[in-house]
Amino acid sequence: MEKLGLTKENWKQFVEWIWDFIPGLISAIVILFVGMWVINIFSRMLRKFFQKKDYDETLENFLYEIISIGLKILLLILVITQLGVQTSSLVAILGAAGLAVGLALQGSLANFAGGVLILFFKPFKIGDFIEAQGISGTVKEISIFTTKLNTFGNQLAIIPNGKLSNDNIVNYSSEGIRRDKIDIGISYTSNIKEAKDILLDLINSQEEVLKDPVPEIYVSDLGDSAVTLSLRYWASNEDFWAVHFYTIEETKKRFEDKGISIPFPQREIRILSNAMELQNTLKKEQ
C-alpha cells in the first residue's frame, strides 16, 4: 500500500468511504429501476387516457413525449442526488451543461420551438395532405423536432420543424373541398359554343362534382394554334383526382365523337415563288 502512496490511515478512510457510498449507490440503482418501471406504467396509462379522450392526435403525441422526457429527467436528478451530490451543486452543473448544450444544439432548439408553434397554431394535423419545403405528402407523424410525411410514391420524408414553421405551407386538406382548373385547347375552326356545351354537360353529369358553386367555362386565351377553354369546378378532397382524370379522358372522347379537334403546335411556312425567282435572277446578273 505504501508503494501505491496509501498509508494505513488513507486506506482506512477509503474503505470507510466505500462503505458509506455503497448504501447510496444501491439506493440509487433501486430508485433508477423502480422509477423506470413506474414511468413505463404511467406512460401506458397516459397513452390509454389519451386514446379514450377525443384529443387531437398531434397534441397527444407531443404531450406524451414532453411528459415522458420530463419524468426521466426528474428521475435522473433524484438518482444523482441519492449518490450524495448536493442539490445546489447539481443545479449549477445542470445550468452550465444546459448552456453548453443549448449553444451546441441551436438547430435542435429551433426545431423544438417550431414543434411548439405547429402544436399551438395547428397549420396541419396528422392525415392532412400538405406541400412544404418542396415536398408533398400526407402527414404521418408530428414529433417534438421533426414532422414525417408519406409522399405520393410512399417514401418517408422527414422535415425539421424549425424550417417547417418558418416557411410556406400549403394544406390541401384543411378546407374539405378543392377547385380544379382544366385548360383545353380547340382549333380555330371548331365551334366554341358546341365545345363549351360538351364540357358543361360532361362536368354536370358527374355526381361527385359540386353544383354549388356552379361549374363555369370560358375562353381564357387565343393562342398561336388553339383557342383555350378553361373549365372550373369544385369537388371534395376524396373525389378530386378521380374527377380530374376522368374529365380529361372523357373530354377527348366526346370531342372526337363531335368532330372537335384538339390541335397541337404547328407553324405555317409560305414560299413566295416570284420573290425567289427575282432573287435568282439578280444573282445571275451579278
Q: Where are the beta strands (DSSP E) in 161-201?
A: 169-171, 177-186
- 104, 133, 153: which is the final residue of a domain? 104
- Which range has the top average pLDDT, 70-79, 96-105, 221-230? 221-230
Q: How many CA atoms lie within 13 A of 165 on its CB side?
A: 22
pLDDT above 90 for 195 = yes
Flag whether 116 is in a domain: no
Do 177 and 235 contact (CB within 8 A), yes or no? yes
- 151, 171, 191: which is the final residue of a domain? 171
CATH number (domain holding residue 138): 2.30.30.60
Flag whether 206 is in a domain: yes
Q: Specify the residue for cell string 449553444.
A: 103
pLDDT above 70 for 272 = no
Flag whether 131 is in a domain: yes
User: Are residues 92 and 69 both part of a single domain?
Assistant: yes
Dump pLDDT digits (tens) for 30-65.
888 888 888 888 888 877 777 776 666 666 777 777
User: Are residues 251 and 197 both part of a single domain?
Assistant: yes
- Which range has the top average pLDDT, 20-24, 47-51, 65-69, 85-89? 65-69
Flag whether 265 is in a domain: no
Confidence of residue 3 (pLDDT cuts 50, 70, 90): very low
CA distances from 266 to 145, 190, 227 (A): 53, 16, 14
State which residues form the domain around 239. 177-257
Total number of domains constituting the chain = 3
CATH number (domain holding residue 28): 1.10.287.1260
Look at residues 90, 2, 10, 75 and name the one whose alpha carbon lies nearest to residue 18: 10
Confidence of residue 229 (pLDDT cuts 50, 70, 90): very high
Confidence of residue 1 (pLDDT cuts 50, 70, 90): very low
User: Are residues 61 and 143 both part of a single domain?
Assistant: no
CA distances from 203 to 36, 146, 251, 261 (A): 61, 41, 10, 19
Flag whether 47 is in a domain: yes
User: Are residues 208 and 163 both part of a single domain?
Assistant: no
Flag whether 146 is in a domain: yes
- Greater pLDDT, 210 or 277: 210
Flag whether 277 is in a domain: no
User: Are residues 142 and 187 both part of a single domain?
Assistant: no
Which residue(s) pair with 222 in the sheet? Answer: 227
Computed from CA positions of residues 195, 197, 198, 200, in that sequence, does the dihedral angle turn out positive or negative? positive
Is-cis flag, bond preceding 213, omega within 30? yes
User: Are residues 94 and 17 both part of a single domain?
Assistant: yes
User: Are residues 166 and 187 both part of a single domain?
Assistant: no
User: Are residues 36 and 18 both part of a single domain?
Assistant: yes
Q: Which one-letter DSSP state was computed for residue 4? A: T
**What pLDDT score does 105 carry?**
47
pLDDT above 90 for 249 = yes
Confidence of residue 120 (pLDDT cuts 50, 70, 90): confident
Rounded to an integer, the average pLDDT of 138-154 is: 89
User: Are residues 183 and 203 both part of a single domain?
Assistant: yes
Flag whether 109 is in a domain: no
pLDDT above 70 for 271 = no
Q: Which one-letter DSSP state was computed for residue 209? A: B
- 150, 171, 192: which is the final residue of a domain? 171
- Which range has the top average pLDDT, 49-63, 70-84, 197-211? 197-211
